[in-house]
A and B are shown apart, each in its own frame.
Chain A
Amino acid sequence: MSDEFESRGAEGSGESFRTPGIIASRLDDAIGWARKYSIFQYPFVTACCGMEFMSTAGSHYDLDRFGAGFPRFSPRQADVLMVVGTVSHKIAPILKRIYEQMAEPKWVVAFGVCTCTGGFYDDYATVQGIDTIVPVDLYIPGCPPRPENVLQGLMLLQDKIQKQGRHPKPGTLRPPVR
């Protein structure tokens, strides 16, 4: 640690960083905590659910207070793939490629009923649930889901990330650690 950093802390807060202090935690818990509050999401927005996603991400509902307000438009820098809207067979290879480009650890959210099951588009053009293409960690149903619904889903995802520890296996659900 540089001298500058230490002296600023001493001046600003009246406390010195030299004061010894210890935080005890399990490494799994600490990493889970850090990950769940720094979700960089990749919004894969294809259809009308995007409006509700924007509403959730906007200031009124404010995704940022969960640490998830920072969209990365490069899959290589993203942790959570938010698949928002109907996925057709034509765009499915692109979705799979983006998923494969993301670095571990990564999570996938199926946002809206079309991504969960295909919704009412039971037809030639639509993928009947993106979990037939990529492993999904969280399903948020609704057509479209209300922002409150999305926020609850996000909290469930944070819960999941917290409990997964250091080495989450993509697409698997683990029993909660009690």
Chain B
Amino acid sequence: MMTEKDFPDAGFDTVQLVPKAQAREALSFLKNELGFNVLVDHTAADLSKWPEAKEGRFELTWRLMKLDPKTGLVERRLALKTRVAEGEDGPPSSKDLWPNADWAEREVWDMFGVKPSDNPSIKRLLLYEEFKGHPLRKDYPIAKRQPLVEPMAAPRERIDPKELRPKLVDS
């Protein structure tokens, strides 16, 4: 059982790391008990070049904000983080807590290949269905392209260089 003491307020940029098994419980506690009513962003990072990768290659982040409903002013901010090992699913979806988490989770799946454990048939958000792999992983080849339209030869191979003569309007 979580209490308020588990989430001390360390100022504007409070960051809290929780184990993956507790992440969903922590999120629902933060939403329902501590009143974090805005999910600012949900994203991920690939830590594979970092020493932290031993605890899990991917770091999922939920940036939360608590707005006073009367004044609209920010009362508190908190970033909740958790680590997910390669090949594993993330914690269950939090779209029932904040509806905008749905697209954010789809983006995390699209870019990093980490999906919520209760959404096995998740779809890509930004890229096309034909795309193979997850481009923001550090092991995605940086020069790899997956065009849908077969590229034509470059113009310099298509056009006779003698025809590429500079032309000016006034002269």
A pairs with B: yes
Q: With A124-B140, A131-B152, A133-B152 given, is the CB distance from A176 to B167 under 8 Å? A: yes
B149 interface residue per 8 A CB criterion: yes
Contact residues in B for A173 (Cβ distance below 8 Å):
159, 163-165
Give chain B nearest CB distance to A102 CB in angstroms. 16
Q: Of all chain A residues, which has the CB nearest B163?
A: A173
What is the minimal beta-carbon distance from A145 to any residue of chain B, in angstroms? 16
Q: Which bracket fits the contact residues of A? A: 20 to 34
Residue contacts A-B, CB under 8 angstroms, 20 given: A89-B149, A90-B126, A90-B127, A90-B128, A92-B147, A92-B148, A92-B149, A93-B149, A123-B135, A124-B135, A124-B140, A128-B145, A132-B151, A133-B151, A135-B152, A156-B169, A171-B158, A173-B163, A174-B163, A175-B162
User: What B residues does A123 contact at CB under 8 A?
Assistant: 135, 142
Q: Does B121 contact A (CB under 8 A)?
A: no
A-B interface contact total, Cβ < 8 Å: 61
Whether A89 contacts B135 in the complex (CB less than 8 A), given A156-B169, A173-B159, A175-B165, comes out as no
A68 shortest CB reach to chain B, Å: 15
Question: Chain B, interface size: which category?
Answer: 20 to 34
Q: Which residues of B contact A47 (CB under 8 A)?
A: none
Residues of B within 8 A of A172 (CB): 159, 163
Interface string of A78-109 (1 = CB under 8 A from B): 00000000000110110010000000000000
Q: Which of B148, B159, B169 makes the CB contact (< 8 A) with A93?
A: B148
Q: Which residue numbers of A lie inside 8 Å of B, CB to CB? A: 89-90, 92-93, 96, 123-125, 127-128, 131-133, 135-136, 152, 155-156, 159-160, 171-176
8 A Cβ contacts from B114-171 to A:
126-128, 135, 140, 142, 144-149, 151-152, 154-155, 158-159, 162-165, 167-169
Residue of A nearest to B162 (CB): A175
Compute how far the CA of A155 lies from the CA of B169 in the bound complex, rounded to whole angstroms.
Answer: 7
